[in-house]
Amino acid sequence: MIVVHAIAILQQEIAAWKQNGKTIGLVPTMGALHRGHISLVEKCRTETDCCIVSIFVNPTQFNDQMDYASYPKKFKDDSVMLKEACCDILFAPSEQEMYPAPDTRTFDFGMLDKVMEGRFRPGHFNGVAQIVSKLFQAASPDKAFFGEKDFQQLAIIRALVQQQNCPVEIVGCPIVRESEGLALSSRNARLTIKQRQIATKISQTLTKSYALVSSKTVGETIAFVTEEINAEPSLRVEYFDIVNGNTLQPVTDWNEADYIVGCTAVFCGEVRLIDNITYRKQKTLKNATPPCS
């Protein structure tokens, strides 16, 4: 694995791979890596010849400066993990390298970013679109790999690629969970052992709610999930929405769309965690998969 900090050097390396007819895969990250990220690296390695992982804590996607300042940074541990996972290039640019001048671009994602994360974190997805488009420009990957935990982010990035005619295939990868169900996240590093235990209530409640689809309305399911999670004093639901998985707009009836997903953001103490569950995908309820057993 080589570590590269400059876009010009990254592009030289990539040109050499491409000259040999090799395909390029990119896994964009903000570091503080865990098994979820490594699953993206593994997927990238099976689908492309050269695996690039970027580590850059992007300031423009944080609407809360405290959140930016406290975002975990573990570059040494990350490099070891990536080397072990057989990453080919670790791209770790400075802020000056990615933003030599302020990025004033604004993106229009219609209603996609007006709900859920977009509603509670204004400007967040504009910042994500800024950095992801810059990374795509720098690395010109054939494929880029993102986790489905950030369900709305994945939809936004698919829209970005379509709008900008980027010749990159976006690959969504399943959520990786702790054995008791907690979705892996870099933010979990900020949870105490006790909080980690408490936070499992989030995925466990989502899993329970999956069984309600045949007997409860969408509204009743929203009430169940919200009340059950809020019943734990250390947890506070910021939102739990049941949405059309393609448009991300709320649904009021289980038959309203072929693809239905429940998405939530929950505070565990000061730490904000997100998770989701697919209730329905494609034609029948049978195709849906619960997040964990």
Contact residues: ligand PAF, CB under 6 A: 28-30, 58, 61, 128, 131-132, 150, 153
Place of tokens 């009836």: 253
Which residue among the candidates 5, 34, 37, 124 is catalytic per the annotation?
37
Residue whose CB is less far from ligand PAF, 10 or 257: 10
Q: How far is the CB of 158 from ligand PAF (least distance, A)?
A: 13
Residue whose CB is less far from ligand PAF, 154 or 212: 154
b/e 7-41 (16+ beta carbons within 10 angstroms → b)? beebbebbeebbeeeeebbbbbbbbbbbebbbbbb
Q: Return the closest-CA partner of residue 156 out of 112, 106, 103.
A: 112
Residue whose CB is less far from ligand PAF, 47 or 232: 47
Q: How far is the CB of 186 from ligand PAF (least distance, A)?
A: 7
- Let me know if 106 is exposed, middle or buried by CB neighbors in 10 A (0-12, 13-18, 19+): exposed
| All residues at 6 or more sequence positions from 48 whose CB lies less than 8 Å from its CB, including other chains | 22, 23, 24, 25, 141, 142, 143
Residue 119: Cβ within 10 Å count: 14
Residue whose CB is less far from ligand PAF, 134 or 201: 134
Residue whose CB is less far from ligand PAF, 66 or 193: 66
Q: How far is the CB of 124 from ligand PAF (least distance, A)?
A: 9
Q: Return the closest-CA partner of residue 190 out of 32, 23, 18, 75.
A: 32
Q: How far is the CB of 274 from ligand PAF (least distance, A)?
A: 11
The answer to whether 170 and 144 are in contact (CB under 8 A) is: yes
Pair type for strands 24-29 and 143-147: parallel
Q: How far is the CB of 244 from ligand PAF (least distance, A)?
A: 22
The answer to whether 209 and 215 are in contact (CB under 8 A) is: no
Does the annotation mark 34 as catalytic?
A: no
Just list the catalytic residues: 37
